[in-house]
Every structure is written in structure tokens, then in C-alpha cells.
A = this chain, B = another copy of it.
Amino acid sequence: MDPNPIGFQHHDHSHCVADAVAAADRSCREAGLQLTPVRKRALEILLEEHRALGAYDVLARLAEDGFGSQPPVAYRALDFLTKHGFVHKIEKLNAFIACAHPGELHTPAFLICTTCQAVAEAETDPSHSLLANIAETTGFRISRAVLEAEGTCPNCLASEKR
């Protein structure tokens, strides 16, 4: 079990938080959005952890840093970040995770390891999407899709075999 997986590999974590926050900052400025202190801090928290956190986990850290301590503080920040694509909600876990591919418009797919709790965000090809095909044949117009899979990550599979 491995505390720092992006995807399921280790990586040097030192710069990615700052980089991602800077990118979000830029992106918000361009779009006329306000990446306020709470929102920015919430994003940082998720990036630092690099895993799925519950809203109350985020809230506790925000409160430590002097922000409000009531649920709406966290939920509002997370709503903003989710709405604008900087963060995704993992429905299966009722938890939030920083987007691993921000900027691009995408429908993420998540792989959730039930052994080590790691969550990887995979890119999907929208044109080949299963759901897109279904939608086409049924006449349904999709606005948002959720793709999540629970299972065992490569690392934990390897450990099992030993």
C-alpha cells in the first residue's frame, strides 16, 4: 500500500501542487472566475493529499487554516471547483479528488482500489464512449457522465501474489 500514487505510480510530488494551483489561477482569471482563498486552499488540500477526501476532511483542514468550520464552507468551495472542472466527485466514495488532467474538457473515468484506497483518473475517448453510443441509440441527451470502477490496482495485485 502506497500513500502517494497519482494514477498508481509514485511520482515527485513537490512541484505538482504549486503547478496545478497556478494553472487553476490562470484559468480562472481568463474565465472571469474568482479563485478565492478558501477555494484555492481547498484545491491545494486535495492536491497535497492526492487522493479522494470527504467534504468533512477538507472542511477540517480548512478550519485549521482559519477558514469557517461549518459544512457549507467546504461544500461551497468543492461545488465551485467541481463545477469548473478542477475537482471531481467520486460518487461511489462520496469523496472529492483533484483533477489529474485539468484544462482539457473531459469525461473522467476512475479506478478505485479497494485494497489501498488509491484512485486513478483515466482519460476516456468521448467518441468511443459506451455511454455516447447508448445515448445515440436511445435518443437520450447526456449532460454529465459518471464512470467509476472498483477493483484492485496493479500494485496491490502484485502484493497479493507474493
Contacts and interface: CB of A to CB of B under 8 A. Distances in A.
Interface of A: 1, 3, 5, 7-8, 91-92, 109, 111, 113-114, 120, 122, 124-125, 128-131, 133-135, 137-154, 157
Given A142-B149, A150-B144, A109 B134 contact: yes
Given A92-B91, A137-B3, A157-B141, A130 B152 contact: no
B144 A149 contact: yes
8 contacts: A3-B137, A5-B134, A111-B134, A124-B134, A131-B147, A142-B149, A143-B151, A146-B146
B134 A1 contact: yes
Contacts of A153: 139-140
Contacts of A152: 140-141, 143
Contact of A139 (B129, B146, B149, B154): B154
